[in-house]
Amino acid sequence: MSEAELRKIFHTFDVDRSGSVASDELAAIIAAAGLAVPPAELQRIIDMADTDGSGEVEFEEFIQCLYHQHDGGGLLSLVAQSSSFFGWMTDWRQWFSAEPAASQLPDKPSPRHQVRRDAAAAPRRSTRHSSLRLPVGVRSQRSVASESLLHHLNAQTAEETRQQQNERHAIRRERQRDFMARQQQRIQLFRQQEVDASEAKQALLASKRAMGSEMRRTVQKQWHAVQAKESTRAAIVSKTALDARAAKQAEVEARKTEQQRSATVIRERAQCERRKRREESLATVRSQTQAAKDFAARVRHETRPAVRQNSAEYFQAQRDTICAEERERQLADRLMRHCQQDAFLSQASERIHKVQVTDMDAMDARRRLAEQRRQEADEVRRQLQAERERKEQAEEVATRELRERHDTVLGQRWNPLLGRPAVTADSEEVAAGSGSENPRLEIRQGLKAKSREWSGR
């Protein structure tokens, strides 16, 4: 089979004339030929023919696949089954035959064309058999006329058959062109849909990325706002607590100052009252004494010796009456002073009780605060003690490891059985490199330096 014919078959599958057959183009041709092939099987056939892994079948890959599948199956089977619809040759076993004579044979028509050609050639065969030429002398005029008529009828029938075949070929080509145009439109539509889907996918991804960025910014703003609100609230709570503590302390100080001032005022008022009552008592006594003196002087002046004896009882009665009245008045004053003193003492005791209750509450609050601070201090001390113990353990572990390393080094450099340094290749190299004449002194100095370092820690 020639390359032109194979390329014609390839162009039938290559609908978009891109030079390669894609899976959608092969699926469209197979569907147009009326073949039912699963998509998985179709993709497997494409993968078998696609040797370079491009996803599409080029012309060289198409030829190679058909050549390697000359025993049937795969892409060659699909092409052979589609040949009856598109008018290709039907004996696909001779497409890539190894015999050169077979490759030069003319293409065999499809079964449908073969039936039509046999039907068209049947009367021709009968005419040919009936129009056998006889010798000229034997044939009659009637036989010559019949032969010419048969030739004319055969020519007319052949012409009609050729016209019908041309019409059928024209109709088939028109249908193929329409089918190819529809397939190209469908493939273009599919590719446009794929492009639109890809663009829509990209737009969706872009919108999702933008939405995600916006959501991240929104979440960050909300988080910053919550953090700012929390910090503001914490500052407000701290400020409120400090203000409340300061206000409470100021209130306690003011109450204490007021209590002290009230107690001072009460004491001063009591002292003033006592001083005033004492002065009133002294003034009363002095006025009474003076009145008694005046009265005695008047009595002495008025009672002369002549009438003194007669008026002794009168004056005595008058003095008794005055003394009784004075005693009653003094008793009433004393009772009133006692009542006032009792009322003042009761008020003072109530105030002193209130002051004592307030002092006890303040002492309880100070005691609770001191206990809380003592507990906090104990907790801090326990934490410090735990941290100190942990540091001491870490230092002990480090010291132990350092001592073990030094003991290892000392054991490597010093042989206790012989009482002298162990002579090894490493020690000789170290001694030769350091140039020291007394390695024991160096070891002792190193241990002293480490012990000073440990004691410094």
Instruction: Give the contacts of 336 (CB within 8 A, at least 6 positions apart).
Output: none
- Distance (Å, whole) CA 193 – CA 198: 8
| Per-residue pLDDT at 431 | 46
10-residue averages of pLDDT along the chain (457 residues): 76 83 83 81 85 85 78 72 68 46 37 39 37 40 64 81 88 87 86 89 90 89 90 89 89 90 89 90 89 81 63 76 90 90 89 90 91 92 92 91 85 55 46 49 67 62
Q: Is 35 helix (H, G, I), strand (E, B) or coil?
A: coil
CA 40, distance to chain mean position in Å, is 41
DSSP 86-143: HT--S-GGGTT-S-HHHHTSPPPPPHHHHHHHHHHHHHHHHHHHHT----TTT--HHH
Number of Cβ within 10 Å of residue 301's Cβ equals: 8
CA geometry: angle 345, 350, 356, nearest 5 deg = 120
Is 304:378 a contact under the CB 8 Å cutoff? no
Which residue ranges make up each domain of the chain? 3-196, 246-382
The per-residue b/e assignment along 206-227, b for 16 or more CB within 10 angstroms, e otherwise, is eeeeeeeeeeeeeeeeeeeeee
SS3 211: helix
- Residue type for position 374: R
Tell me the sheet residues that pair with 57.
Answer: 21
Please, which residues have CB within 8 angstroms of residue 348's CB and are 6 or more apart in sequence?
Answer: 266, 270
DSSP state of 424: -
Residues 6+ apart with CB under 8 A from 5: 107
For residue 299, what are the contacts with CB-CB under 8 A and spacing of at least 6?
315
The full DSSP string for 366-379 is: HHHHHHHHHHHHHH
CA dist 282 → 48, 244, 288, 294, 304 (Å): 142, 55, 10, 18, 33
Please give the CATH topology (third level) of the domain spanning 3-196: Recoverin; domain 1 (1.10.238)
Which two three-digit tokens encode residue 174? 């028109």
Torsion from C-alpha of 117, 118, 124, 125, nearest 10 degrees? 150
| pLDDT for 305 | 63
